[in-house]
Amino acid sequence: MMPINSKKKGNLWENKFANWLRDNGIKAWKDGASGGGSREKADVGNNLNLHFEVKAVKKINILRVWEKACHECTKTHNQPVIAVHFDGMPDNEWLMVIHSEHFLDLLVKEGVENDYVDPKLKWKVNNLKQAAHDVIKLLP
């Protein structure tokens, strides 16, 4: 089998990622001018205000790719997202890299319940309950 050149491989996986988004109900398209003079410069355009950089690789310098995506986002003011497909992964699986603030925004927007209780606070409340219970027992 003849090896595929990097440009063709990039286009192939950018199309696969756009298709994957569409299959999951998200309006997305392969930006034909990605990396060129387009307004977006993203690999995959979308209606989510996200800047997708798509990489299909064996290994990756994630920090370098992240810095590039952040730089390109300064023009569009979109949130950067890196979609990584490692060699050997099923075609419909992606490792998504997003900024921690964007991650928290997504959790809050989705209403993810945060039922975390500080263990020290939990211990103090349990002690207070036990003390109240002991006092109630002593009342006439």
Instruction: Tell me the CA distances in angstroms from 24 to 20, 93, 94, 97, one per residue in order.
Output: 6, 12, 13, 18
136 assigned to some structural domain: no
44 assigned to some structural domain: yes
33 assigned to some structural domain: yes
39 assigned to some structural domain: yes
Q: What is the CATH number of the domain that holds 57?
A: 3.40.1350.10
Range of the domain at 70: 6-113
Q: In the Cβ-directed half-sphere of 123, how many Cα atoms lie within 13 Å?
A: 3
CA distance 98 to 79: 8
130 assigned to some structural domain: no
The tens digit of pLDDT for each residue in 82-122 reads 999 999 999 999 999 999 998 888 888 766 565 666 777 77
Yes or no: say if 21 and 57 are a contact pair by the CB < 8 Å rule. no
101 assigned to some structural domain: yes
How many domains are contained in the chain?
1
97 assigned to some structural domain: yes
| 129 confidence band (pLDDT: 50, 70, 90) | confident
132 assigned to some structural domain: no
Q: Which range has the worst mean pLDDT, 20-24, 41-45, 84-88, 115-119?
A: 115-119
Yes or no: say if 35 and 10 are a contact pair by the CB < 8 Å rule. no
